[in-house]
Structure 1
Amino acid sequence: MSNLDTWLVVPLYNEATVIQQVIADAIQVFPKIVCVDDGSTDNSASLAESAGAYVVRHPINLGQGAALQTGFDYVLSDVATEYVVTFDSDGQHQVADASAMVARLRGEDVDVVLGSRFLDTRTNASRLKRAVLKLAVIFTNLTTGVRLSDAHNGLRAFRASALTSVRLRQNRMAHASELIAQIGRTKMRYVEEPVHIVYTDYSRSKGQSIWNSVNILVELILK
């Protein structure tokens, strides 16, 4: 399967250390990748381009939600697009998981496949991080009507036909719950897929800590 009908949308902000390898690995399976450079102050964008990705640039940092929406608009302008995957730029997501999720879209009568780090034991998250993320799950399940085991996982695969009904307005981390709410409101058919999120020293140094999860909860309550 060539996956020429599939785009990876990769929000990008100051990931010069790892982005070239992330794109080099992903492009072997997904030849169509767009990185939305969200006002990076390093050479992330040029490194992504050199690895084979298309790059769209925000002149200033607008947040991950805004970067995703820009990416969605870009890939939906390609008439060949059938499937769209959201994929992180810091090396936490696995290409094999993304491939399995697209395969489910091809073979099952669903609109979106949502990654979950809590459906198997591969992801090594701390007890405190798991507890905070579970609180986010409870909050999201109660407020959106969508029942998930992991509400803030950035690895997702959509049918393009379903994604046309999504419009993100929460620019920063609360966009994840906004997206789940739109999945519920538009009655998308959804399933979860177990995925392996790799927490490295690098990703933790970039802010993928327990405080990031706390910030998500604060944004959800205040939005």
Structure 2
Amino acid sequence: MKKIFLIIFLCIFSLGFSQKKKKAKSKVVAEKETAIIYTEAEAESTNEARIIAGFLKQNPGHAKTDKLKRRLIDLIMADNSPEAKPTIKPISKDKIAKIVSNSELNKPAASNSKAATPARDVSFASTGTAVKKSEPSEKSKKTAAMLTHLFNNDPSDKEAYINIKNKSNCRLIVKISGKKYYNLDVPAKGQNFILIDKGEYILTTMVCDAKYSSLKKITKDIELELNVSD
């Protein structure tokens, strides 16, 4: 009799284990793709220069344009502080103000005149007259490239950017493969962005234990939200 009960118990245990294992394998990645739209609330509360610049470009003539431009300049200056980069001479606040004011962020885009197309030379740090030249940090160069892209009103711009929001509890390494190859590190419960050449790409990553792979035709700035769903 004991042997029968033991056999029944083992059968029930094996069945439960196999179902649990099967359930674990059934996890898939939930994806949400949206065009990037910046809100007033985000622009006022963020510490990211790209969000403020993006909001100003999407909302020309907004009542809080001047206030947000001042905040944008302050954020750029903070990232350009000598304490953060002791070997690099930061550019002056006046020069940064000139960059922002000349970006045409407070005017509607759609002009082919030379005045409407800002120079693509945004830079937040300069070596000045230092004897030993030092390159800006990767973060500064990435931010500079992003803001230059946002400031640019040229419809023929060949670049777009992807912002990935990671809603899962796992860190993501997103591989973007196409005519060029990129890797994007996205922290758990965080986000990160990358500027890429427009075109078709295959995005792959592991969201915790779930595999994600998607073909994307990138022709404009987009945002992807990734998470794991059962």
Higher strand residue share: 2
Whether TM-score is above 0.5 comes out as no
Higher helix residue share: 1
Coarse TM-score class (shorter-chain normalised) = under 0.3
- Using the size of structure 1 for normalisation, the TM-score is 0.27
Name the larger-Rg structure. Answer: 2
